[in-house]
Amino acid sequence: MGVAALAVTALAVLPPVDSAADVLVVRAAPTSYSPTLVLPPHDEREPVRTPKVVKKPAPKPKPRPRVVKRASRTRAIEADLGSGGYYCPVAGKRSFSDDFGDPRPGGRHHQGNDILSPRGTPIVAVTAGTIQTDYSANGGISLFLHGVDGNTYFYAHNSRNVVSSGQHVSAGQLIAYVGNTGDARGGPTHLHFERHPGGGAAVDPYAFLVRACR
Ligand SMILES: [Zn+2]
């Protein structure tokens, strides 16, 4: 491209102007300047820097931690399924008699049967149902089981419950442990068990227990 052509090109790209004074005339003066690149003597070799790549050893894949279940968690509850299709509420060593109606302090009468059993013996749901935990001065740590059979069962003096209100449990499922909370404190550990047909008044559960715990 010649000089004239360059000037034309330079003008062509300028924005259009109204005043002649604003016209920029590009004079492309020919130049003979050709700078010579003079480098200083340079013998020293720059040390070649090789960045040290510190190779990190690939992290060893961590072995997946084994979930070691506590023996107490995996210990099978040996719930006893009685002849009537109900589980014995105490899954372990137990003894009971028909003490329903026995006089109690304050003119009250015993509303269930007391199943004597060592502290910590598993207590299970006699049938499938829904849990309603409870606490009272007399019953201590206790719970209601609203069975799918339409009946309600009451378990009292537990050392602790392992289910919560609204929880659905299956027949024979662990729900609590034997203790002596409430007014049983200081006395022998046992499960106070009540049976309420249709959710009504308590009836003597002895025959029920004999069949379930035979
Ligand atoms: Zn009792």
pLDDT in tens, 99-135: 999 999 899 999 999 999 999 999 999 999 999 999 9
Number of Cβ atoms within 10 Å of the Cβ of 143 = 26
Query: What pLDDT was estimated at residue 45?
Result: 54
- The Å distance, Cα 166 to ligand 1 centre, comes to 25
- Using an 8 Å Cβ cutoff, are 175 and 123 in contact? yes
- The Å distance, Cα 137 to ligand 1 centre, comes to 13
Domain ranges of the chain: 77-212
129, two tokens = 């149902």
Element spanning 147, H or E: strand 140-147
- The Å distance, Cα 183 to ligand 1 centre, comes to 9
Q: What is the largest CA-CA distance in the chain?
A: 128
pLDDT beneath 50, residues of the chain: 1, 3-12, 14, 17, 19-21, 44, 71-74
Query: What pLDDT was estimated at residue 84?
Result: 84
Number of Cβ atoms within 10 Å of the Cβ of 10 = 14
> How high does pLDDT run on average in the chain?
82
- The Å distance, Cα 110 to ligand 1 centre, comes to 6
d(CA 183, CA 188): 11
Q: Please give the backbone phi and psi of residue 18, each rounded to the nearest 5 degrees, phi first.
A: -85, -45
Contacts of 78 (CB under 8 A, 6+ apart): 91, 92
Q: Is the pTM of this model over 0.75?
A: no
- The Å distance, Cα 111 to ligand 1 centre, comes to 7
State the CATH architecture for 77-212: Distorted Sandwich (2.70)
